[in-house]
Amino acid sequence: MLDVLRLVRAFNLVVAASGVLAGGWIALGALATPTVLALAALAAAGFGAAGNALNDLWDAAGDRVNRPGGERPLASGRLARGTAELCVAGGTLLGVGAAALVSGTALLVGLGALVVMAVYSPLLKRWGLPGNMAVALVAGLPLMYGALAVGRSGAGLVPWALATWIHLVREIVKDLDDVAGDRMLGRRTLPIVLGARRAEVVTAALAAAFVPLSLALPAQAHYGGAYFLVALFAQLAVLAVASRLFGGRARGNSLLLKGAMLVGIVALVAGRVA
């Protein structure tokens, strides 16, 4: 059971579902959870589980090189492919069923996101930066999905933009960690195309640019002062990542960025409901 949870990235699913709830709260301006918002969070978890399992199915060969410690249960052989395929089917059914109860638009958006996740490893990742951008748009989608679920999609634009930007930085950071396996699979990720050092500099610049963006967009959208207070901690973490990358330290940045994302979600909610 523990390996199944690792396969579907259970923690990431909780974060995605929480992001959907947060997106709804931001849009509503209140910590209210109507049924459609709860269903949208469940749909996001289902689609995410299917996408994560698919990713491991496609990436098993590369994971044996990039993660030899056995952290990927499918690549290490602890989990059968059939189990992973069942997770894909079950997650898809859960996502489709829950999204259909929200709205037709929510269903189409959820299916679109699943398609991107399905083709990311075998196709989009080979394209380098465009693939990173596609997966970042999907990874940042939960905040918009929550706003969409409560009928106020416009309120999800700023959160989606900020989440997409920081996810883009994290995707390239992960590519920096995965060069050996990606090269073996013939992928043209940014570190392979530009070289690790140039990719580190580009990623550091993107991380540094996130800070003024995370100030300007919420200010323009009239977020409350609580946002700027809480967001300061996320911004400092992102600046730390930028500094580390400029200094040639590529390892250990993914976890820092994940922490910044969580703090950022709290900041966005605080800026609307506090």
Average pLDDT for 260-269: 96
Tell me: pLDDT of 18 over 70: yes
Tell me: pLDDT of 69 over 60: no
Tell me: pLDDT of 57 over 90: no
pLDDT in tens, 125-143: 777 778 889 889 999 999 9
C-alpha atoms less than 13 angstroms from C-alpha of 126 in its C-beta half-sphere: 8
pLDDT recorded at residue 97: 97
**Percent of the chain whose pLDDT exceeds 70:** 91
What distance in Å separates the CA atoms of residue 46 and residue 62, rounded to the nearest whole number?
25
pLDDT band at 236, cuts 50/70/90?
Answer: very high
What distance in Å separates the CA atoms of residue 54 and residue 48, rounded to the nearest whole number?
10
Residue type, 9: R
Q: What is the mean pLDDT of the chain?
A: 89
pLDDT recorded at residue 138: 93
**Residue 229, Cα to own-chain centre: how many angstroms?**
24
What distance in Å separates the CA atoms of residue 24 and residue 150, rounded to the nearest whole number?
6
pLDDT band at 47, cuts 50/70/90?
Answer: very high
**DSSP summary character for residue 155:** G
Could you tell me how many helices (H) and strands (E) the chain has, helices first? 14, 0
pLDDT in tens, 164-217: 999 999 989 988 887 777 777 667 788 888 888 998 999 999 999 999 999 999
Tell me: pLDDT of 245 over 70: yes
What distance in Å separates the CA atoms of residue 38 and residue 24, rounded to the nearest whole number?
9
Can you give the three-state secondary structure of 199-231, one letter per residue? HHHHHHHHHHHHHHHHHHHHHHCCCCHHHHHHH
Tell me: pLDDT of 80 over 90: no
The region that residue 32 occupies, defined by phi over 0 for left and psi between -120 and 50 for alpha, beta otherwise, is beta
Per the CB < 8 A criterion, the answer to whether 133 and 124 are in contact is no
What distance in Å separates the CA atoms of residue 238 and residue 204, rounded to the nearest whole number?
9
Which position has the higher pLDDT, 78 or 14? 14
Query: From residue 139, how far is each of 19, 195, 211 by CA, in Å?
Result: 10, 25, 19
Pick from 44-48, 160-164, 169-173: least confident? 169-173
pLDDT recorded at residue 196: 83
Average pLDDT for 36-47: 98
